[in-house]
Amino acid sequence: MLRFESMAPLISRVLISRILAGALAATIIAACATRPPPPPVVPAPMPAPTPAPMPPTVPLSMRLGQVSFAELQGWADSDPRSALEAFRRSCVAISTRPETAAMGGVNYAGTAGDWRQVCLTASAISADTALTVRAFFESEFVPYRLTQSSGPGLFTGYYEPQLKGSRTKHGPYQTPLYGIPGDLIVVPLHVVLGDRGQHDRRGQVALE
**DSSP track, 67-83:** --GGGSTT-TT--THHH
Q: Is the pLDDT of residue 35 over 60?
A: no
pLDDT of residue 46: 67
Backbone angles phi, psi at 19, to 5 degrees: -65, -45
Using 50, 70 and 90 to split pLDDT, how confident is the model at 7?
A: very low
Q: Is the pLDDT of residue 10 over 50?
A: no
Residue type for 130, please?
A: A
Per domain, the residue ranges of the chain are 68-148
pLDDT tens for residues 105-148? 666 788 999 999 999 999 999 999 999 999 999 999 999 888 87
pLDDT tens for residues 150-204? 767 677 778 778 888 898 999 999 998 888 888 888 877 766 666 655 667 777 7
Q: How far apart are CA 123 and CA 118, in angstroms?
A: 9
Q: Is the pLDDT of residue 27 over 60?
A: no
Can you give the pTM of this predicted structure? 0.48
Buried b (16+ CB within 10 A) or exposed e, 57-86: eeeeeeeeeeeeeeeeeeeeeeebeeebee
Nearest to 146 by CA among 205, 62, 56, 71: 62
pLDDT tens for residues 61-99? 677 889 999 999 899 999 999 999 999 999 999 999 999
More confident residue, 59 or 112: 112
